[in-house]
Amino acid sequence: MIRLVWGDGVGPTEKAAFDAALDDAGLHQYNLRRLSSVIPADVTVESSGTAPDLGPTGNVLDVVLAEQVSHPGARAAAGLAWARDDDGGVFYEVGDTDPETVAELLSAGIDRGTALRDIHQPVETRVHTADPAPDRYTAAVVAAVYGESSPLL
């Protein structure tokens, strides 16, 4: 199963805001291994919002990750688009300060990705927007989490 999770956060640094957004999505205790966006055949994609317990702290999670960390006073938006058929599918990820720009870029990117793979199924999207903090960095993440975690070592 692939779970879609999302979150946002603020912090005094870019890294702190990103970590807070991962915490909000339930991913902050894992080492994230980024994947190139291909969805295997016969796998369900489920919107979870926040990741459940997927294993011990420090384990590795395979993810397709959309992220945006914005400077103080700026909004953050991140999104995933995906489509799949019986042979598999594809994700496309985008981050920006403007959710409308994220939606436009997702549409253009997923259209190209599905055309390359000859997928003619409806496209689904998830865009998550974080309101700006006047004196802190703001982050938004949307992640497609592939299965459970596994030991790193």
Query: What does the pLDDT look like over 126-147, one tens digit per residue?
Result: 999 999 999 999 999 999 999 9
The CB density around residue 86, as the number of other CB atoms within 10 Å, is 9
Query: How large a percentage of the chain has pLDDT more than 70?
Result: 100
pLDDT, tens only, 54-83: 999 999 999 999 999 999 999 999 999 999
pLDDT, tens only, 85-138: 999 999 999 999 999 999 999 999 999 999 999 999 999 999 999 999 999 999
The predicted pLDDT at position 66 comes to 98
The predicted pLDDT at position 82 comes to 98
In three-state secondary structure terms, 11 is strand
Instruction: Out of 3.40.50.620, 3.40.50.460, 3.50.20.10, 3.40.640.10, select the CATH number for domain 2-51+60-150.
Output: 3.50.20.10
Residue 98 and residue 68 in contact, taking contact as beta carbons nearer than 8 Å: no
Four-point Cα dihedral 68, 91, 101, 137, nearest 10 = -10
Region of residue 21 (phi > 0: left; psi between -120 and 50: alpha; otherwise: beta) = alpha
The predicted pLDDT at position 116 comes to 95
Residue 9 and residue 24 in contact, taking contact as beta carbons nearer than 8 Å: yes
The predicted pLDDT at position 81 comes to 98
Which residue is it, tokens 């993440």? Answer: 141
- The two structure tokens encoding residue 103: 């939606």
The predicted pLDDT at position 55 comes to 96
pLDDT, tens only, 8-31: 999 999 999 999 999 999 999 999
